[in-house]
Structure 1
Amino acid sequence: MARKNQKAPWEEEEEIIWVSRTEMKNDMEDLQKLGEELVGLKPAVLAKFPLTEDLAEAIADAQRFKNEARRRQLQYIGKLMRFVDPEPIQAALDKVRNKHSQATAVLHKLEALRDRVVEEGDSAITDVMELYPSADRQRLRQLARQAAKEKKAGKPAKAYREIFQVLKELNEEEF
């Protein structure tokens, strides 16, 4: 006699993954927070995000609303986010956030290069010429000498700032 609880050996058993209510609510809150961050972005930046039409329209509406209407709209955005894959949106948001960090790092590198140009002179200018072939060697030498004189005399660092502007323009031309 066969047991009632046993499955036939040829049937595959499905693994059931239990998700608690708390976990589901936390996931929904995370999606709503992602939606809130999207609402905080400018429309030009949002245009680059992979959003469905409904979601993009809901975000545009939430940007116009205030107080209670905005809160309800954010909840609606959270509801819409449940039916969309949030990973590409999160990746695009991370990319937007990281852009500022990358720009800051580039500026720090340019500042270090400027300091080398002022302190080392021709050897650093040769390095600049390798990085940026379109650079004007004579102008950089002139500015480096002028910056060194200003530093020695205790005058305002006008040439020092001008070297940075030249390097910044060269870097922008490159990209």
Structure 2
Amino acid sequence: MEEPGELKKSRTQLKKEAIALQKIGEKLVQLSDEQIRRMDLTTRLIEAISDIRPMTSRGARRRQMQYIGSLMRDVDVAPIEQALLEIEQGEYQRARDFHRLEAWRDRLVDGDDEAMMEILDALPKADRQRLGQLVRSARKEKQNNKHPKSARNLFRYLRDLAE
């Protein structure tokens, strides 16, 4: 029963909250099994998430998402939202690092020697001779209009150094 002085939520407010929980559930469904295992979720919620994956029928998926939303009403959502935010930020950071490495590789292949100094400063484990060798072979392939095998090798080398 209600406490004195506590306002009763309107049906619209309850529906909005249910939809918000369902949207969080949709994000959870998109995560890998490993990411879900790391979260503190109930067994029933984990089972409901794994049950929706093989479903192809729109109606069945919609009903299952509503079920996931109803299960989430009994769970503290704040830690789940925090974990989802951390996952999204980690993916954003990985994509940003990937693009930075691609830009360095492209600048090196295009003849920007300043990029070499940036890399050597940012990645102290870099071997100057190995890096120079990969850059020379990538430039040679580009001049001869060959497949960029050396450019891929250069990118892999930079990626391995960054990890």
Q: TM-score, normalised by structure 2?
A: 0.76
State the Cα distance separating 1:46 from its structure 2 match.
Answer: 0.7
State the Cα distance separating 1:162 from its structure 2 match.
Answer: 2.0
Match of 1:120 among 100, 103, 112: 112
Deviations 1:78-129 (A, max 9, x none): 22211222122122223333443322211110012123333233x4333322
Match of 1:144 in 2: 135
Mark the CA change 1:157 to 1:57 in structure 2 (over 3 Å): closer, same or farther.
closer
State the Cα distance separating 1:57 from its structure 2 match.
Answer: 3.5
Match of 1:159 in 2: 150
Q: Which runs of 4+ in 1 moved over 6 A?
A: none
Q: Could you tell me how far apart the structure 2 residues matched to 1:117 and 1:165 are?
A: 14
1:8-27 equivalences in 2 (<5 Å): 16-27=6-17
Match of 1:36 in 2: 26
State the Cα distance separating 1:24 from its structure 2 match.
Answer: 0.8
State the Cα distance separating 1:69 from its structure 2 match.
Answer: 5.9
Q: Could you tell me how far apart the structure 1 residues matched to 2:55 and 2:105 are?
A: 47
Bigger radius of gyration? 1
Match of 1:94 in 2: 85
Mark the CA change 1:142 to 1:30 in structure 2 (over 3 Å): closer, same or farther.
same
State the Cα distance separating 1:36 from its structure 2 match.
Answer: 3.4
Letter matched to residue 152 of structure 2: R
Mark the CA change 1:16 to 1:63 in structure 2 (over 3 Å): closer, same or farther.
same
The gaps in structure 2 that reach 5 residues or longer are: none
RMSD: 2.8
Letter matched to residue 127 of structure 2: D
Q: Secondary structure at the match of 1:50?
A: coil
Percent identity of equivalent pairs: 43
Q: Could you tell me how far apart the structure 2 residues matched to 1:105 and 1:48 are?
A: 24
Letter matched to residue 141 of structure 1: G
Mark the CA change 1:116 to 1:24 in structure 2 (over 3 Å): closer, same or farther.
same
Mark the CA change 1:56 to 1:141 in structure 2 (over 3 Å): closer, same or farther.
same
Match of 1:75 among 43, 62, 66: 66
Q: Which has the higher contact order (CA 8 A, sep 6+)?
A: 2
State the Cα distance separating 1:134 from its structure 2 match.
Answer: 2.0
State the Cα distance separating 1:145 from its structure 2 match.
Answer: 2.3
Residues paired across the two proteins, number: 158
The gaps in structure 1 that reach 5 residues or longer are: 1-13
Q: Could you tell me how far apart the structure 1 residues matched to 2:53 and 2:147 are?
A: 46
Q: Answer yes or no: is 1:45 the counterpart of 2:35.
A: yes
State the Cα distance separating 1:16 from its structure 2 match.
Answer: 4.2
Mark the CA change 1:144 to 1:73 in structure 2 (over 3 Å): closer, same or farther.
closer
